[in-house]
């Protein structure tokens, strides 16, 4: 064992200790899978990352560094707040991107592009990876609804969302419903499924939903999602991951990525908005969503280093 450079970064918070903490070991070379998992279990954060040089294949494709991401229980192929926090730590430690204007991260899911925003300097955004989604089984949805104590009519829409991590995404009737949930975490753990819930204050009108989902009907739509003032809409999100040993995650980038791809595509949200998460845990995470002209969704947030030192591993 020897000292390795280490940072603990707060991600998706405009000020320290308001977002989601991430442990980052800046030199993971030579560590076994077991050693990485043991440290992540000891750290007891939602995720711990280990930075490594890119693989030969990754380097050939333009990767700047490689990251491995662990929860207290297992390794993840991709995760959102570890992507931004790891990139922040890598840049702060002197990492220099190979290409101007973008950082390329290699992870088990593949290559993830990250960009620095103009303001503020602490904000980074990652390109949401491709999403696979489908309608959930009604019996599963009923069991989840019971575990969340949701009444009929409070669930507006539901999708199984897979961008590496798999979430059951629920769109609820209001942010207040989201904030008042008191989940049965043991029941959710026994289901073995992570559940993400979102509530939006301003519902989009039915003509817009038709226009967004049916190209032929677009001419009949009287408003587009982009015409809604995103700053006037309230987006509240919560993430329940008892199946991963985290009853409720403070701020969850991978979930926001898949939620945004779903909600924007189906007309439930405008192309750009800011969502809040962590309110029930005493946090104030803010996730900045932007869908560009190519339909690529970017998930952004501020990053702040709170602990800087070394760890014996």
Instruction: Report the predicted TM-score, pTM, of the whole model to 2 decimal places.
Output: 0.89
Residue pair 25/47 in contact by the 8 Å Cβ criterion: no
How many Å from the N-terminal Cα to the C-terminal Cα in the chain?
A: 5
Longest Cα–Cα distance in the chain = 66
DSSP, collapsed to helix, strand or coil, labels residue 154 as coil
**How confident is the model over 95-118, as pLDDT tens digits?**
999 988 899 999 999 999 999 876
For residue 245, name the pLDDT band (cuts at 50, 70, 90). Answer: confident
Average pLDDT, integer, range 48-69? 98
Q: Which CATH architecture has domain 3-128+302-312?
A: Roll (3.10)
Domain 3-128+302-312 and domain 132-292, same fold? Reply is: yes
Domain layout of the chain by residue ranges: 3-128+302-312, 132-292
High-pLDDT (> 70) share of the chain, %: 88
The tens digit of pLDDT for each residue in 258-309 reads 999 999 999 999 999 999 999 999 999 999 999 999 999 999 999 999 999 9
Domain topology for 132-292: Diaminopimelate Epimerase; Chain A, domain 1 (3.10.310)
Specify the 3-state DSSP secondary structure of 279: helix
Mean per-residue pLDDT, 14-37: 96
Any idea which residue has 């949805």 for tokens? Answer: 141
The predicted structure's pLDDT at residue 120: 67
- The per-residue pLDDT for range 173-215, each reduced to its tens digit, is 999 999 999 999 999 999 999 999 999 986 444 444 434 333 3
Contact 106, 55 (CB under 8 A): yes
Angle at 231 between CA 228 and CA 236, to 5 degrees: 100
Burial class (CB in 10 A: 0-12, 13-18, 19+), 96: exposed
Q: What is the pLDDT of residue 232?
A: 58
């Amino acid at each position: 064992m020897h000292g390795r450079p280490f940072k603990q970064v707060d991600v998706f918070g405009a000020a320290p200790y308001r977002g989601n903490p991430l442990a980052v070991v800046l030199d993971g070379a030579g560590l076994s899978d077991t050693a990485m998992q043991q440290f992540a279990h000891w750290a007891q954060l939602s995720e711990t990352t280990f930075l490594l040089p890119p693989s030969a294949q990754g380097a050939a494709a333009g990767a700047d560094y490689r990251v491995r991401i662990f929860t207290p229980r297992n390794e993840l192929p991709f995760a959102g707040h570890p992507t931004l926090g790891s990139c922040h730590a890598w840049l702060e430690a002197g990492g220099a991107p190979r290409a101007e204007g973008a950082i390329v991260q290699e992870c088990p899911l593949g290559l993830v592009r990250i960009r620095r925003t103009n303001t503020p300097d602490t904000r980074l955004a990652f390109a949401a990876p491709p999403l696979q989604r489908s309608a959930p089984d009604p019996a599963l949805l009923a069991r989840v609804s019971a575990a969340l104590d949701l009444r009929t009519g409070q669930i507006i829409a539901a999708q199984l969302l897979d961008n590496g991590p798999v979430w059951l995404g629920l769109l609820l009737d209001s942010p207040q419903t989201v904030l008042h949930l008191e989940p049965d975490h043991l029941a959710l753990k026994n289901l073995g499924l992570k559940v993400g819930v979102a509530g939006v204050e301003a519902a989009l009108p039915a003509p817009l939903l038709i226009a967004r989902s049916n190209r032929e009907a677009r001419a009949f739509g009287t408003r587009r999602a982009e015409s809604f003032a995103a700053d006037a809409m309230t987006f509240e999100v919560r993430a329940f991951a008892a199946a991963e040993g985290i009853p409720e995650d403070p701020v969850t980038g991978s979930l926001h990525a898949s939620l945004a791809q779903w909600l924007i595509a189906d007309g439930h949200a405008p192309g750009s908005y800011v969502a809040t998460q962590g309110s029930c845990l005493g946090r104030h995470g803010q996730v900045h969503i932007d869908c560009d002209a190519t339909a690529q969704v970017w998930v952004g947030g501020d990053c702040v280093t709170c602990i800087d030192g070394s760890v014996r591993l």
